[in-house]
Amino acid sequence: MRDVPRIAACLLSLVAAAAPAVALDEDDYYLSLPSGPQGGGIYRLDSDTLLLEPFAVGLGIPFYGVWSVDGSLYIPDRALGAVFKISDTGVITPFAAGGLLSTPVTIAESPSGQLAVSDIFQETVVLLDAQGNQTLLHDAVTSGGLIAGPGGLGYGPDGTLYVSNNTNDTVAGIDTGGQAFLASDGGGLLNQPGGLAVDGSGNLFIASYNSNLIVRIRLATGEAEVFCDDPFMVRPNDVKLSHLGGLLVTTRNSSLVHIDALGQLSVISQDTSTGEWDGVAVPNDHPPCTGRFIPYGAGLAGSAGITPELGGIFSPCIGAGTAIEVRGVLGGTTGSLAWGIGPGSVPFKQGQLLVDVTQAWALIPLVFPGVGAGAGRIVVPFELPDEPLFVGISLYLQVLAVDPGAPAGVSMSNGLQELIGN
């Protein structure tokens, strides 16, 4: 077996003198490049100038890392078989190697600060303590086959860990009690899935590397759908939630892109002379936004017995882009979004009005495209003001739509609490 710690230590001693000290910028993009201008390492992409410069070089194949709440960048290196801890000035220290790790590819941090790392060929998901000591969370055997070539990792707000299975094209979950379960079979849309991210609205976004897609999975049902299939995006790699809203995605065609709540892609930077861009981590993106879209109450079915659904995309956070989504409405009809500062439960049109209309409230008119029962769907993007006083405030939302197939001519969605976070 390779003496990984000794190899890593020797390699780092060779590059330590050459590695420049670069001051940390909380908004800059820290990219994992196996073939960067100075070899494998972490390169900083300045968020203002978009200039690329070495931050911590001398690694092998650095993959999907995370900026921890302790101020360090943790990076798995699948070539050296180790996890490295990188300071905010770019100083590299071996953190964990050997044992349950031989080809680590992703490291993620839980809401409580717990680090987890996936090893794609050992088929392990391993917990690391503050000293880098390893504890097996699950492998292919203990999970009953639910862990299969684990690649991307991401924690949900409730502490559930989600795992993309690179070899069987599924997503597994591990709850806070350590129980593994199938989160989604991918609906036939996943082909060698990689990085993933979980928002505060019950959505998981995952890169399908071999089909050039970002796939959205609704965690409540496991339902999968294409979220972005822009032709520019060749072999998407890592996926991270941005503190400004939307997704950050690295690609094989040497690019970092942003994807908004409508699934629209914009290119942040591309440099084809630097090889594949594997991972991305932004200090300000972690810990993620504390905002949540939380469904409550029951709606009222309309035509064909289909009940409209109201949900969110991304997390409602001050200064960030997010969206609400309505689906299952009669196509071609009109309606309104009711909002207020409190929840309600008042009989209305044989359903329940779930917004309190005795306090401040309003109606926003909506038009639903599509044709036929349940075919109406609309996504309404918006950006919350960057005002700290809004943090912790909740708004309550419900959609009412004209529908002759409803008992009293109006179908209604569930309620949706919009808890604003930071």
Read off the pLDDT of residues 219-268 as tens digits, 9 standing for 90 and up: 999 999 999 999 999 999 999 999 999 999 999 999 999 999 999 999 99
Q: Where are the domains of the chain?
A: 4-285, 292-419
Strand spans (E) along 243-371: 247-251, 255-259, 265-270, 279-281, 292-296, 309-313, 321-331, 334-340, 343-348, 351-355, 361-367
First to last CA, the chain: 46
CATH of 4-285, one of 3.40.710.10, 3.40.309.10, 3.30.930.10, 2.120.10.30: 2.120.10.30
Residue written as token pair 């409803």: 406
Compute the distance between CA of residue 193 and CA of residue 162 in angstroms, rounded to an integer.
12
What is the structure's pLDDT at 21?
Answer: 52
Backbone angles phi, psi at 254, to 5 degrees: 55, 45
CA-nearest of 305, 282, 296 to 356 is 296
pLDDT tops 80 at residue 3: no
Cα angle: 250, vertex 252, 253; to 5 degrees: 100
- The least confident of 39-43, 110-114, 374-378 is 110-114
Half-sphere exposure of 259 (CA within 13 A, CB side): 30
What tokens does 354 get? 């779930």
Backbone angles phi, psi at 166, to 5 degrees: -70, -25
Mean pLDDT of the chain: 94
State if pTM tops 0.75: yes
Q: Which class in CATH covers the domain with range 292-419?
A: mainly beta
Cis, bond preceding 287 (omega within 30 deg of 0): yes
The pLDDT confidence band at residue 4, using thresholds 50, 70 and 90, is very low
